[in-house]
């Protein structure tokens, strides 16, 4: 049995993905949960940096990424994202023992274009491993894990300089190439460029520089913009990218263009002034970045790597423990992406929306709980159900961005407070989860014998709804 002392030993985090089911009291109806196809294991795959997961293709997801040895291109596939964790990995290409491409092999991406598979990857030379250029492999097979891959050569750009992290996407009938490169005459390690493609092997147009590392968060250790990923949603083209050194300072930024704009005009792109995804000490996730995107049904999924620790011995590039992780990508009411924080270990993540105010969410602010709309601090609205601190038949609500804190009722307010190994804390932070009083597909959380957590015009309170239908709706929450 999981008790308070075992919680304390694990830092307050329950790692078991089945914790929610085991904590539900007998006979309680299950409420709608976040999509079960979205994994909660963290990491998804160990020691696979720069992860790229394809959109579902013919019922399959495929994963590739950098291996710690930097010597080969690997692909694994599964019918679910969670299945990628244990899927057999195939090596589709190894670097030669000498000459060109015999050095470091970095950041492969796998793309399906016109019925064929292509891998774009960065490679150095045997005698100069940091002479990094971008190359492309091609396969006619339906399954990219099969053999038959052919090297089609180098992707030639305007300059024969350090080039890496290429991606490709189609928009409005045109295919684009987007990559990072060191441009002569600019004192940066890499900038971001875009061009239209003539074929999967060649560019049609001259490169256009759309981002240069100039802001403080882009220039820590190195002046870097790299690892671009594209998502077209809500009338806009969003490009995430990674910046700074590959240690705990590594982070993600965002470029935005209108979907009707000329993407080959640098003026079409706007860089957000602050990073959108960064190291989070509370969740013990360091240096998140080099992301990609996939989907589970209609849910957008953020794929990225990060480490579980901050301090690194030696060059961070050769620390092997950048692990592949996935989590749901949310959206703000203005149509922009909401990344939250790298969530760390634990079970399914939920957001509680009052039945009587479906556009609002329970969130914490200054450690006090309330109900708000348009919450841009996504992680303030995210919680995990874990086995109750009070014992069998109860649940507790753990904060995602402060995993050492749990929802706790005291005499004056409802708060997220640091865990205490005491019976008094356990009683105040444990609830009985039942089918929703106002809708059986939702949930209600009972406090004591006949009182419940409830919404009251923006406040999060304890109430006694009895048989009042409006009060019962206010004490009911949908999970999302």
Q: Which of 50, 319, 356, 380 is catalytic?
A: 50
Hey, which residues does 60 pair with through a beta bridge? 57
Give 456-471 pLDDT, tens digit per residue: 999 999 999 999 999 9
Each residue of 238-264: b (16+ CB within 10 Å) or e?
bbbbbbbbbbbbbbbbbbbbeeeeebb
Identify the residue with better confidence: 5 or 85.
85
330: number of Cβ within 10 Å:
19
**Three-state DSSP state, 469:** helix
Identify the residue with better confidence: 11 or 322.
322
pLDDT band at 15 (very low <50, low <70, confident <90, very high): very low
Please state the pTM of the whole predicted model. 0.92
Q: Kindly list the structural domains of the chain, giving each domain's residue range(s) and its CATH number in brackets, ordered by start.
A: 4-34+348-479 (2.80.10.50), 49-338 (2.115.10.20)
Tokens of 356: 């009587």
Give the separation between CA 196 and CA 190, rounded to whole angstroms: 20
Average pLDDT, stretch 145-153? 97
Q: Is 196 part of the annotated catalytic residue set?
A: no
The pLDDT of residue 184 is above 70: yes
Give the separation between CA 308 and CA 137, rounded to whole angstroms: 33
Give the separation between CA 12 and CA 400, rounded to whole angstroms: 11
**Three-state DSSP state, 427:** helix
Q: What is the pLDDT of residue 18?
A: 28
The pLDDT of residue 8 is above 80: no
Q: Is 226 part of the annotated catalytic residue set?
A: yes
Give 384-437 pLDDT, tens digit per residue: 999 999 888 999 999 999 999 999 998 879 999 999 999 999 999 999 999 999
Tokens of 411: 């005499």
Give the separation between CA 103 and CA 107, rounded to whole angstroms: 13
H helices present in 65-196, as ranges: none
pLDDT band at 39 (very low <50, low <70, confident <90, very high): confident
The pLDDT of residue 26 is above 50: no
User: How many H helices and E strands in the chain?
Assistant: 4, 34
The pLDDT of residue 452 is above 80: yes
Q: Cα Rg for the chain, rounded, in angstroms?
A: 24
Q: Which of 165, 226, 319, 417 is catalytic?
A: 226
Closest CA to 284 of 94, 96, 11, 23: 11
Q: What is the pLDDT of residue 37?
A: 75
pLDDT band at 9 (very low <50, low <70, confident <90, very high): very low
Q: Picking from 25-29, 138-142, 219-223, 277-281, which range would have the lowest pLDDT averaged per residue?
A: 25-29
Give the separation between CA 188 and CA 222, rounded to whole angstroms: 8
Q: Sign of dihedral through CA atoms 283, 286, 289, 293?
A: negative
CB 325 within 8 A of CB 305: yes
Give the mean pLDDT of the chain: 92
Q: What is the pLDDT of residue 185?
A: 97
Identify the residue with better confidence: 69 or 27.
69
Instruction: Annotate 60-71 with three-state secondary structure.
Output: EEEEEEECCCCC
The pLDDT of residue 80 is above 90: yes
Q: What is the pLDDT of residue 197?
A: 98
Tokens of 237: 């083209």
φ and ψ of 172, to 5 deg:
55, 45
CB 288 within 8 A of CB 279: yes
Average pLDDT, stretch 57-61? 97
CB 182 within 8 A of CB 190: yes
Q: What is the pLDDT of residue 441?
A: 96
Tokens of 396: 């507790």
pLDDT band at 40 (very low <50, low <70, confident <90, very high): confident
Tokens of 288: 């998140």
Give the separation between CA 432 and CA 291, rounded to whole angstroms: 38
CB 243 within 8 A of CB 225: yes
The pLDDT of residue 19 is above 70: no
H helices present in 136-279, as ranges: none
CB 117 within 8 A of CB 99: no
Percent of the chain topping pLDDT 70: 92
CB 179 within 8 A of CB 134: yes
Closest CA to 266 of 324, 193, 167, 161: 193
């Amino acid at each position: 049995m999981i008790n308070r002392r075992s919680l304390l030993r694990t830092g307050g985090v329950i790692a078991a993905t089945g914790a929610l089911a085991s904590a539900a009291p007998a006979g309680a109806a299950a409420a709608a949960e976040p999509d079960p196809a979205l994994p909660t294991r963290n990491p998804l795959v160990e020691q696979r940096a720069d992860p790229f997961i394809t959109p579902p293709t013919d019922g399959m997801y495929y994963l590739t990424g950098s291996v710690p040895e930097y010597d080969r291109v690997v692909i694994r596939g599964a019918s679910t994202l969670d299945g990628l964790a244990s899927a057999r990995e195939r090596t589709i290409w190894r670097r030669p023992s000498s000459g060109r491409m015999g050095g470091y092999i970095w950041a492969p991406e796998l793309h399906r274009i016109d019925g064929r598979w292509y891998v774009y990857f960065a490679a150095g030379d045997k005698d100069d491993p940091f002479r990094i250029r971008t190359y492309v492999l091609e396969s006619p097979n339906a399954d990219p894990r099969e053999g038959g891959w052919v090297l089609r050569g180098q992707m030639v750009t305007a300059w024969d300089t350090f080039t890496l992290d290429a991606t490709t996407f189609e928009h409005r009938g045109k295919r684009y190439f987007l990559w990072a490169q060191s441009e002569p005459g600019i004192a940066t390690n890499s900038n971001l460029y875009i061009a239209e493609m003539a074929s999967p092997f060649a560019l049609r147009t001259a490169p256009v520089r759309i981002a240069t590392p100039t802001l403080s968060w882009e220039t820590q250790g190195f002046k870097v913009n790299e690892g671009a990923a594209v998502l077209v949603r809500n009338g806009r083209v969003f490009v995430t990218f990674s910046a700074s050194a590959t240690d705990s300072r590594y982070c993600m930024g965002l470029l935005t263009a209108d979907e009707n704009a000329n993407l080959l005009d640098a003026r079409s792109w706007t860089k957000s002034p602050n990073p959108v995804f960064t190291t989070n000490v509370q969740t013990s996730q360091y240096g998140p970045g080099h992301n990609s995107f996939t989907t589970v049904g209609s849910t957008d999924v953020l794929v990225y790597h990060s480490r579980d620790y901050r301090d690194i011995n030696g060059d961070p590039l050769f620390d092997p423990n950048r692990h592949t992780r996935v989590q749901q990508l949310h959206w703000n009411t203005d149509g922009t992406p909401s990344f939250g924080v790298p969530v760390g270990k634990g079970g399914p993540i939920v957001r509680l929306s009052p039945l009587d105010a479906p556009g609002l969410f329970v969130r914490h602010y200054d450690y006090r709980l309330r109900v708000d709309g348009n919450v841009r601090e996504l992680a303030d609205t995210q919680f995990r159900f874990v086995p109750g601190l009070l014992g069998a038949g109860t649940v507790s609500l753990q904060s995602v961005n402060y995993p050492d804190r749990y929802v706790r009722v005291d005499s004056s307010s409802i708060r997220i407070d640091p865990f205490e190994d005491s019976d008094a804390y356990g009683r105040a932070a444990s609830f009985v989860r039942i089918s929703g009083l106002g809708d059986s597909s939702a949930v209600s959380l009972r406090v004591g014998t006949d009182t419940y957590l409830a919404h009251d015009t923006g406040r999060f309170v304890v109430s006694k709804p009895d048989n009042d239908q409006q009060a019962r709706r206010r004490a009911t929450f949908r999970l999302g």
